[in-house]
A and B are shown apart, each in its own frame.
Chain A
Amino acid sequence: MAWTREEMAQRAARELKDGFYVNLGIGIPTLVSNYIPSGITVQLQSENGMLGMGPFPYEGDEDPDLINAGKQTITELPTTSYFDSAQSFGMVRGGHIDLSILGAMQVAENGDLANWMIPGRMVKGMGGAMDLVAGVKRVVVLMEHTAKDEPKLLHRCTLPLTGAGVVDMVITDLGVFQIDRHGSGMTLLELAPEVSLQEIQGKTEAGFALGNGIG
């Protein structure tokens, strides 16, 4: 059984450590905030200018001056601070954020990431993604293993890059891979329940080594 989106988010939440400052991307990564392990505290950063992001407001309490980077209404916490966009990305670029979890269209075995444009289609823009992958200490990609049955884990990305050699871990519905940014390539660490090595190999173009206990 491949992991559901919720299970993928749950698996990604295990990468959180007590005291981490974390930026979560839009989509499945947003779900990670529902699975923060008990006994640890993390502060979520929203790159439009907030640390300590709280849950969605109760109906009637929405504040147009309080949104996250996905433009959704949110709330503040006792730990919250606000700042301008330059300071926000100073945090990001300066390596002060511990972990970024974001989605991807393609990831290559060397850690290259593509998630912002498809040539020939209307391009929406990279937003803060290029800054996040260049600056955050550890980058975890959370994505479906394939798109329309085509592999998304490739030898080399074919789409324009968001960052070169920036991904440390990929969590898909089929398993978990670690990537060594310094050239040692990709390693399969975990398989989702009842997913065979043969299945994941068949759906992965990238080359990968097998971690302990796999295969």
Chain B
Amino acid sequence: MNKTYPDAKTALAGLLHDGMTIMAGGFGLSGIPEKLIAEIKASGVKGLTVISNNAGIDGAGLGLLLETRQIGKMISSYVGENKLFADLYLKGELELEFNPQGTLAERIRAGGAGIPAFFTKTGVGTLVAEGKETRDFDGQTYVMERGLVADLAIVHAWKADTEGNLVFRKTARNFNPVMATAGRVTVVEVEHLVEAGEIQPDQIHTPGIFVQRIVRYDRYEKRIEQRTVRKRA
């Protein structure tokens, strides 16, 4: 079973269709699957529902798929960095579902773990809980949230082996490991690809069972959204 593909185009071949649901890892622009997003743009597939914490910025990340109007609906926790997003939303050209960030993460985790719903206290008494079932446990009210799965999860990892075992780097990890578990198919772009056995089994973050296809690139743009530094003394 070969999981490695020569480029993003072949890694996504046969997986894309109009109206599908795609999970995309990343927080802001950190840890986003930038090569796979670019290839989805090139494919022209449209009417997408995209589950991702953010919506990129103008001209980068998922912002690219907004420019081409390929996204019909976003499920996100925060989209404040994207002017085009605001324009499309206010014109009614884009549907939007806000989830609290932790609820979004847990919905994805649950989906990947075969849990159809769970109860959380996040959002009780707010707009987020409207129309949802609530239940009291031990004197506290909780709201029911549903697990989430997607037709495709696109993930960025630092390193993979040929079996699909993954290692993430620093805060570029974020939503990537949970999304890898919740895609019916998961495609991963990596910075380093090694033979199976070269990653210490104890150091693996995501086991290869969750990964169907891997593509490696030498160079990534990895744009920084808020470059903040201190002066050397």
Contacts and interface: CB of A to CB of B under 8 A. Distances in A.
* Physical interaction between A and B: yes
B1 interface: no
A76 interface: yes
A27 to B, nearest CB: 13
A134 B122 contact: yes
Contact of B77 (A46, A82, A126, A160): A126
A130 B168 CA distance: 27
Given A86-B108, A89-B102, A127-B101, A66 B225 contact: no
A88 B77 CA distance: 15
Interface string B198-233: 000000010000000000000000111111111110
A64 B78 contact: no
B64 interface: no
Contacts of B123: 130, 134
**Which of B89, B128, B169, B170: most chain A CB closer than 10 A?**
B170
Contacts of B106: 86, 89-90, 93
B2 interface: no
Interface in A82-98: 82-86, 88-90, 92-93
Interface residues of A, number: 55
A86 B109 contact: yes
Given A130-B100, A131-B102, A160-B126, A62 B229 contact: yes
Interface in A148-186: 160-165
Interface string B9-31: 00000000000000000011111
B124 interface: yes
Interface residues of B, number: 58
Contact of A85 (B29, B124, B174): B174
Contacts of B231: 58-59
A48 B78 contact: no
A135 B122 contact: yes
Interface stretch (A14-22, A67-75, A137-145, A187-195): A67-75
B80 interface: yes
Interface stretch (A2-10, A49-57, A207-215): A49-57
Nearest to B222: A64
A26 to B, nearest CB: 10
Contacts of A86: 105-106, 108-109, 177-178
26 contacts: A48-B28, A49-B171, A58-B231, A66-B171, A67-B171, A71-B81, A71-B225, A72-B226, A74-B228, A84-B178, A85-B53, A90-B106, A93-B106, A93-B122, A124-B78, A125-B77, A125-B98, A126-B78, A126-B100, A127-B100, A130-B122, A130-B123, A131-B101, A131-B103, A134-B121, A135-B122
Interface of B: 27-31, 53, 76-81, 86, 89-90, 98, 100-106, 108-109, 120-128, 158, 168-178, 205, 222-232
Given A58-B230, A62-B224, 19 more contacts: A56-B229, A56-B230, A59-B229, A67-B171, A67-B224, A71-B29, A71-B30, A73-B226, A76-B170, A82-B171, A89-B103, A93-B106, A122-B86, A123-B98, A124-B78, A126-B78, A127-B78, A128-B102, A135-B102
